[in-house]
Structure 1
């Protein structure tokens, strides 16, 4: 028979987060991660499909909305669950606080806003 996990130690007894709330947070975090994987694969495939069709058919590309680099940074920080607010992740906080601002793939951000890891894209495009 499986062992039932128990909360032991002083920290477990005095935690302001209930066991069920902590369990929900863990489940939520896992589901959000799974869905993020699924959404990013789907969105990347849609963007790649659009770019390839535009290239091979020599047509104007359709507009595809993608979060800006700043928006990605905002949801990519580590999150520690707190009872002071009711957010279960940085993405949850981002959406609930209305911090969303959508941008197209080709955004109005300056090249200096791009992460260093993406600099090769600009260099290839400029023939460097």
Structure 2
């Protein structure tokens, strides 16, 4: 199967990195934060978060992004104990910029919210 290049040019991994990581920290450690959250950069309620743990462990990738201003951060992370990968996310579609994840943001938010409620 031919690989189709993904256009990541609209996404910005720059000045918002620290702000988005703080948003994730609050959502992860605090009370059951719901997604989408308010963006610390553009103030729209359009921040989403997704972890993807590798099979057999908690290590994997983490993405935090704003669908409105296209700010994002991505890196390796240990998923929280309450996290379960969303089965709809194909590992082969994951890139540094959250292009494929943004297309599924409503399902990812519903998944996050269900897990944070203990579901």
Q: Same fold (TM over 0.5)?
A: no
TM-score (norm 1): 0.29
Q: RCO higher in 1 or 2 (8 Å CA, sep ≥ 6)?
A: 2
**In terms of Rg, which structure is larger?**
1
